[in-house]
Amino acid sequence: MSLASWFRWNEPPNRISQRNPTEMVVETLMMELSWQIKQAEKQQRERENEYRKAKTGVDYGWLVSYPKQSYDISPGERLQLEDMCTKIHPSYCGPVILRFRQVVAEYEPEVQEVSRLFRSVLQEAAEKIKEEEEAKKLARQWNTKNRTSLSLTTFKSRSRISPFISDIKTISEDVERGTQPTRRVWSMPEFRNTK
């Protein structure tokens, strides 16, 4: 038995991910959320250190050791956010992350507020996706209506309107001839079926 069979060096690496795109979107968005939570914690600690330094005039920041990450969202909230992430199409993953970063930079939230901002960005993206799907649906309906109306137009085009046929009577002809006009609606042209 060779050593290569134990380590499976002969097998080609799987280059294409076998994971579902939805799972990748959820994982990417949740990683962005956890990173933003860490950044918010870091900024909050820096603000607290600046406040203490301004208040006491002495910097004891080098003595303080902080835990890696002290704040974490609850499991129930995490599941709700993951469920909302599944509704995001993979093509919207990048724009959602950019919008989330923009909102965080704009508001500079506390650590507890980051997940709420993330939820609002996800809701905004889901509404936008829904609006675009409805617009596509309306466009498809419009296209199918246009196809049916075109088929009706081609069906109706078999009957021709002939306004200049000589047997169409006009008021001026009747006046010239001195005859009484017949009981016919004069504004309507005559329709004839062509075969």
User: What mean pLDDT is reported for the chain?
Assistant: 78
Whole-angstrom distance, CA of residue 166 vs CA of residue 101 = 77
| φ/ψ (deg, to 5) at 161 | -95, 125
Q: Which of 55-64, 123-132, 143-152 has the lowest mean pLDDT?
A: 143-152
Neighbours of 80 (CB within 10 A): 15
Q: What is the pLDDT of residues 55-107, one digit of tens each?
A: 887 776 666 666 665 788 999 999 999 999 999 999 999 999 999 999 999 99
Whole-angstrom distance, CA of residue 167 vs CA of residue 190 = 10
| pTM to 2 decimal places | 0.60
Q: 114 or 158: which carries more pLDDT confidence? A: 114
- Report the percentage of the chain scoring pLDDT > 90: 43
Whole-angstrom distance, CA of residue 167 vs CA of residue 189 = 11
pLDDT value at residue 154: 53
Q: What is the pLDDT of residues 173-185, one digit of tens each?
A: 555 566 555 555 5
The pLDDT confidence band at residue 51, using thresholds 50, 70 and 90, is confident
Q: Per-domain residue ranges for the chain?
A: 21-66+73-145
- Region 11-30: what's the mean pLDDT? 79
Residue 36, pLDDT above cutoff 80 = yes
pLDDT value at residue 57: 76
Selection from 146, 139, 157 nearest residue 194 by Cα: 157
DSSP 192: E
